[in-house]
Amino acid sequence: MTPRILLLAPLDEPLTPEALGSEAAAAFELAAALATCVADTGELAVDLVARRGSRTGLPLIGVDPAELEPASGRLAAEPLLTQVALSGLADGYDVVHSLVAVLGVLQIASAQGAAIVQTVAGRHGEAAAGVLARLVDPRRLAQVRDVPLGVDLTRFLPADEARDESLVWIGGSARDEAIARRIASALGLPLRTGADGDAVALLQQARALLHLAPRRSPFDLVWPLRALACGTPILGWSGIGLEPLAPEPLLGALAPRNDVDTLIARAATLPDRHSASPARRALALARHGARAMVGRYREIYRELTSAP
């Protein structure tokens, strides 16, 4: 019997190839990879709960946070996803897999017999995980912290001719934007953001990706991984999980948080793309392909659905 999986995604923006937020971009990578797995193997049946307008290849149960304005973020996600369960749309699934730090929908799904997979990310994810572990039968619960994020290596790949013509910063706070513009100016490069065009083309033609995330979260690594897959180095702060992705100086340059001068100095020593691009691409190929990510989740689903 084919296991039926319900995937709960973040609701901040639709899951599309153009999604810019780290959570939505990472959730898109997983959903799109699961859709490929479903089409290629038929070993799973997966439905997606995500913001209306999502396009991943999976059947969509669309929800609209605008219905709860002015509530947003986690304040909107909890009641909206719980309402999905209360309305019966989560009935009959073997596994409910949540990428969101919510509780109500998972309690209901568990009470109805579904196994629960929770991808734990960030401070709020850890807090929800602690509560959920007290509410759900541990034999029917998998709280996942160690599945490496994967990206679509057939979409994000080096360009035949890369011009290293800009510094790319996907976006963030106004303070981070000021830092990004200062670094770009010091390097003599124009600053490009996620709003300036196709993400693949931006990363392929960038001198580097500037990643100024203030915290450690697996979802926040999606853009650095996409950059490496395109042969593009990473510039960012140390201590937020980038060290395995940006060993200096070949794959990137890091500096203590908010030490802009040091980051500028280290950025200036990055090797040229021609010599270093293959090593950057190789790291993404070895550890962070979407197929490997889906393979690990398939094992988790199988273990839960085969448990007595």
pLDDT tens digit sequence for 86-133: 999 999 999 999 999 999 999 999 999 999 999 998 778 888 889 999
Is pLDDT larger for residue 124 or for residue 47? 47
> d(Cα 298, Cα 46) in Å, to the nearest integer?
11
What count of residues does the chain have? Answer: 308
> d(Cα 209, Cα 215) in Å, to the nearest integer?
17
Question: What's the predicted TM-score (pTM) here?
Answer: 0.94
* Alpha-carbon dihedral 4, 292, 216, 19, rounded to 10 degrees: -70
Looking at domain 166-287, which of 3.40.50.2000, 3.40.50.300, 3.20.20.70, 3.30.420.40 is its CATH number?
A: 3.40.50.2000
CATH 3.40.50.2000 fits 4-150+289-306, yes or no: yes
Q: Which residues contact 267 (CB under 8 A, 6 or more apart)?
A: 183, 187, 208, 235, 253
Domain extents in the chain: 4-150+289-306, 166-287
pLDDT tens digit sequence for 245-275: 777 777 899 999 999 999 999 999 888 887 8
pLDDT at position 307: 66
pLDDT tens digit sequence for 146-175: 888 999 999 999 998 877 789 999 988 889
